[in-house]
Amino acid sequence: MIDIWEIDRLWRVYRTVEKDLVAVDSYVEPGQNNVYSVVFKKIILLSGALIEEAFKKLCAIIAPEERPGNIGEYKKIILSSIPAICSIKICVQSWNYQMVQPFSDWAEKDSKLSFWEVYNTIKHNPDNIKKSTFALLLI
């Protein structure tokens, strides 16, 4: 079971990532999707790690007897209980109220999250900064 301190810690990490993401608005105009930066890389890596940790915690609640170890296993467990995650829309106020659906890729049976593939590339190949784009931050 997740205790209140774990939830608080995850929330504080999320808020830190959110502040960094909002700050991007100060130096990159919407539409400059192919711009890349070490700041974007940091946000992508922190976001990916946060999502992965949240998925693990969620899976522990949904299926405590299972021990998922990768995104495909998280997907299977999460969709079995929360299929509507695929249709969640988030409005990004600081970017002209752009709507994003970060988990929409999961609606297709054998699909993967598009941002997850790039996150793993960046995570496992630290020199690959050119994949750390503004467009990826918007997913």
User: What's the 3-state SS for 76-116?
Assistant: HHHHHHCHHHHHCCEEEHHHCCEEECCCHHHHCCCCCCHHH
**Among the listed residues 87, 90, 82, 89, the one whose alpha carbon sits nearest the alpha carbon of residue 59:** 82
**Among the listed residues 137, 138, 120, the one whose alpha carbon sits nearest the alpha carbon of residue 128:** 120
Identify any residues that bridge with 48 across adjacent strands, giving them in sequence order.
none
pLDDT tens, residue order, the chain (139 aa) = 567 777 788 888 888 888 888 888 777 876 777 888 888 888 888 888 999 999 998 999 999 999 999 999 999 999 999 999 999 998 877 667 778 888 999 998 888 888 888 888 888 887 878 888 877 776 6
Query: What global pTM score does this model have?
Result: 0.81
Report helix, strand or coil for 36.
strand
Q: Domain locations in the chain?
A: 4-137
